[in-house]
């Protein structure tokens, strides 16, 4: 299969100081894929034509032929029957860029244009209820686009994560950090059970009706029990000592 050229990157990475944030949100129903490319170098915005004004329709699935050469998923106008990324411009005081988004069925994510165009190795499989990304590595984006500084990959899910090798786990997700020094030796290994929800202890959080949840009540009851036990013990020994 001919390697696809992801024209979005060619437009954006002509300028310096680019960072990419790639997010996948995994649910039992599908995978929401989002790519944001940011350029924080204001000086580069003044150099020639603004590349962020050129939006190219890009097919979400890389194996779909969308032009007469069958070489790339980008076209200047949409073709009926083919699904495309939703594109939004990022424009703020200190940031210019683009945001690409598409919702995949779980079985179709392996055909993602973003993934296929920017990794040399990507093993994706579904084993019963488990979604497995095995040894995904060697991001070719750093080779193709010399102005790209770093890529952050973020996983968001309410499903049970059986195993992972994330660089950092935060309350809002799992993070992998790639740059020019580590991209050749760094990999992503991940296994998610899409049929099981991840149980999280929610302490001191109210529900929509203004009541504390059961996790909070359990913690409160345990705390009160400990306080009563300690208080009762102290009172007992005081009474005992006073009777001597």
Q: What are the pLDDT digits (tens) for 205-215?
A: 555 555 555 55
- Partnered with residue 169 across adjacent β-strands are 174
* Per-residue pLDDT tens digits for 100-129: 999 999 999 988 988 888 888 888 999 989
For the full predicted model, state whether its pTM sits above 0.75. no
Kindly state the percentage of the chain with pLDDT values over 90.
30
Average pLDDT, the chain: 76
Residue 34 has a CB neighbour count (10 Å cut-off) of 19
Q: Dig out the tokens for 174 from the structure.
A: 């799992």
pLDDT of residue 12: 47
* Per-residue pLDDT tens digits for 135-189: 777 788 888 777 788 999 999 999 999 999 999 999 999 999 999 999 988 999 9
pLDDT of residue 95: 78
Dmax of the chain from CA atoms?
101
Of the spans 42-51, 67-76, 155-164, 227-236, which averages the highest pLDDT?
Answer: 155-164
pLDDT of residue 58: 75
The dihedral through the CA atoms of 206, 210, 213, 218 has a sign that is positive
Q: Do residues 116 and 104 lie in contact, with contact meaning Cβ atoms separated by under 8 Å?
A: no
**46-50-54 Cα angle (round to 5):** 175
């Amino acid at each position: 299969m001919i390697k696809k050229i992801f024209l979005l990157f060619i437009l954006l990475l002509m300028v310096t100081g680019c960072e990419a944030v790639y997010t996948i949100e995994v649910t039992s129903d599908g995978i929401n894929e989002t790519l944001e490319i940011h350029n924080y170098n204001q000086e580069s915005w003044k150099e020639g034509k603004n590349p962020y004004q050129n939006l190219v329709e890009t097919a979400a699935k890389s194996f779909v032929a969308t032009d007469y050469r069958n070489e790339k998923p980008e076209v200047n106008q949409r073709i009926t029957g083919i699904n495309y990324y939703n594109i939004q411009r990022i424009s703020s005081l200190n940031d210019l860029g683009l945001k690409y988004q598409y919702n995949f069925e779980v079985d179709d994510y392996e055909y993602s244009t973003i993934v296929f165009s920017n990794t040399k190795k990507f093993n994706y499989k579904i084993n019963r209820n488990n979604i497995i990304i095995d040894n995904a590595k060697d991001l070719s984006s750093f080779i193709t686009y010399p102005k790209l500084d770093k890529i952050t990959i973020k996983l968001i899910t309410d499903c049970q994560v059986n195993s992972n090798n994330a660089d950092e786990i935060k309350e809002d997700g799992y993070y992998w950090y790639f740059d020019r020094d580590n991209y050749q030796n760094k990999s992503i290994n991940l296994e998610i059970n899409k049929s099981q929800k991840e149980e999280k202890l929610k302490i001191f959080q109210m529900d929509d009706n203004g009541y504390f949840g059961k996790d909070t009540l359990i913690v409160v009851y345990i705390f009160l029990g400990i306080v009563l036990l300690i208080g009762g013990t102290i009172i007992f020994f005081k009474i005992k000592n006073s009777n001597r």
